[in-house]
Amino acid sequence: MNQLILGDNLEIMRKMESDSIDLIYLDPPFFSNRNYEVIWGDKGEIRSFEDRWSGGIDNYIAWLYERVVEMHRILKPTGSIFLHCDWHADAYIRVYILDKIFGESNFRNHIIWQRTRNPKGSQFEKKNLGIATDTIYWYSKSNNYFFDEKAAREQLQNGELARKYPYFDEKGRYYQGPIIRGASMGARPNLVYEYKGFTPKEYGWRMTKEKLTELDKNGDLGWSSNKMPFRKLRTVNDKGNPIYNFWNDINRIYSNSSESIGYPTQKPEKLLERIIILTSKENDTVLDPFLGGGTTVVVADRLNRNWIGIDQSVQAVKVSEERLKLSKFEKLNFMENEL
């Protein structure tokens, strides 16, 4: 565990044990025919780039297919795979690779990541719409895959909390929620009772008198200026906003970003953090077979997961190693400050 491996990921994965990996994230070179992919300029990357492109899309799909076959083999039955791609080949990848290898029944989500709000180029000159999104396909190996429902919610930040919970009392922030049943909920005679001089209509309260008394005792029942009761809903009970398959809250890495290491296809740590927390537990093993700048292993390490990263580029492995050292140093400092 916790290995950075230099070499061809196909050959390395063929030597790995079956059903041994809990989560795979891969951000393979896109079928974009852009030379910026060869960013380090070492022989491993140049060779890989040339191998992918001779023969066009058919060769690219065949190149990727045999690697995903091995990923399926080494993934645990409870595991998930997230394949990151763009519009150049996403349809081919889903139909000819993922559906065939993992099966259509194990398709979980087609995630759209809005990586920018300012796409490069002029859509008017090109007479089309600017492209601001990437595709992330999520498949599982079986129906018995791990999924953390709590992680499927995005916690509200301070500004959002202030807008949602605009009122204060001695217990803190709250917003006013209903405590009286609406007409559409139908009559409930058993919930019609008097409390502190107030008796609702035939629709009744939203809870029994015992529960209402307890709510009041806890300081979570309020009264408006016109003597109407309401419930004080607190931030502590807010589970956060559900995360759907459209991710527009994570920006790509720009040259002036604090995370930037100069890797043009570098992915933000928050993106990997969401994927790892959503579909793995502490001490699970995360594999990134296209290591690149090392974001996956850095985030996995910080979240107390085991990890394996593979790349053909000597420089990519070196950069990832340095990022891991820096991350461990920052993590240690954070723990010391907490103490």
Domain stop point among 216, 237, 258: 237
Contact 195, 205 (CB under 8 A): yes
Neighbouring CB atoms inside 10 A of 284's CB total 21
Domain limits for position 8: 3-153+242-338
Q: Both 297 and 230 in a single domain?
A: no
DSSP 169-207: ETTEEEEEE--B--GGG---GGG---BTTB---TT-BSS
CA distance 199 to 228: 10
pLDDT digits (tens, 9 = 90+) for 275-287: 999 999 999 999 9
Answer yes or no: do 123 and 257 share one domain: yes
The verdict on 146 and 246 lying in the same domain is yes
Of 237, 264, 294, the domain-final residue? 237
Distance from C-alpha of 57 to C-alpha of 91, rounded to nearest angstrom? 12
Give the domain CATH number at 77.
3.40.50.150
Q: Which helix (H) or strand (E) holds 76?
A: strand 75-85
Among the listed residues 212, 217, 210, the one whose alpha carbon sits nearest the alpha carbon of residue 179 = 212
**What 3-state DSSP class applies to 273?**
helix
Total count of domains within the chain: 2
Same structural domain, 290 and 249: yes
16 with 132, same domain? yes
The residue out of 213, 237, 261 marking a domain boundary is 237
**d(Cα 181, Cα 332) in Å, to the nearest integer?**
52
Same domain, 144 and 68: yes
How far apart (Å, rounded) are the C-alpha atoms in residues 320 and 64?
23
**C-alpha to C-alpha distance for 179 and 200, rounded to whole angstroms:** 10
Q: Are 168 and 149 in a shared domain?
A: no
Residues 25 and 95 in one domain: yes
Asked if 15 and 70 count as a contact pair (C-beta separation under 8 A), the reply is: no
**pTM of this prediction exceeds 0.85:** no
User: Which regions in the chain score pLDDT beneath 50?
Assistant: 35-36, 334-336, 339
Give pLDDT, residue 56: 83
Which residues, 6+ apart, have CB-to-CB distance to 145 below 8 Å?
78, 79, 80, 108, 279
Do residue 217 and residue 258 come from a single domain?
no
73: which 2 tokens? 């083999």
Which candidate, 323, 302, 291, places its Cα nearest to that of 27? 291
pLDDT of residue 36: 47
DSSP per-residue letters across 116-173: -SS-SS-HHHHTSPPP-EEEEEEEESSSS----GGGGEEPPPHHHHHHH--EEETTEE
